[in-house]
Chains A and B, each alone.
Chain A
């Protein structure tokens, strides 16, 4: 059973398009996250959600919008894609401040 699953694994699209990445966790965790890993492998927090409330938003452009229909899902919508959005996007989840985050396998987004 996959703990944190995200789809699609690969996403190739053109500049200006709108796309979504889905994430689901079956661990019963109450907090979910989106991270971006750039070409230099630097992993940076984008959003975290706790009980359907956005907790932080780290200076991410408003073209990115997280949506959480329930605490097991946190989807990422991206409007008007730009070349600089090419990266690997990881979803993660956790419960409690001293518990590790579990990561999904990542979505490799390539903008043509």
Chain B
């Protein structure tokens, strides 16, 4: 099975940087994904890590350490529209590519 943990809520100020952590325990690992979900909408893909290190994509970066079972999503130059839920998801081995999601981190960006 898989156990994925991330903080329930975070608050940050517009223009600041925020780091959302995710830890996981899994019997097999085949990649880690970050998704953004605004209230009432579908999850949308942000980033993917399968090897250790940092992946950068504009204002968003994601880091993975497989030995530590740890990832983080870094959001820079926060904007009000970044207020959303951020979902960490792990793809296991032999799971037919299905994702196991954490419970999500609700991020509130304040002026």
Contacts and interface: CB of A to CB of B under 8 A. Distances in A.
Contacts of A63: none
Contacts of A97: 30-31, 91, 97
Interface residues of A, number: 25
Nearest to A6: B42
A90 B91 CA distance: 17
B99 A101 contact: yes
A43 interface: yes
Contact of A33 (B42, B45, B98): B98
* Chain B interface residue bracket vs A: 20 to 34
A100 B33 contact: yes
B87 interface: yes
A42 B103 contact: yes
A56 B91 CA distance: 13
Contacts of B100: 45
Interface of B: 30-31, 33, 37, 41-45, 48, 50, 85, 87, 91, 95-101, 103-104
Interface of A: 31, 33, 40-45, 48, 50, 55-56, 58, 90, 94, 96-98, 100-106
Q: Shortest 3 CB-CB distances between A and B: which pairs?
A: A55-B96, A100-B45, A103-B42
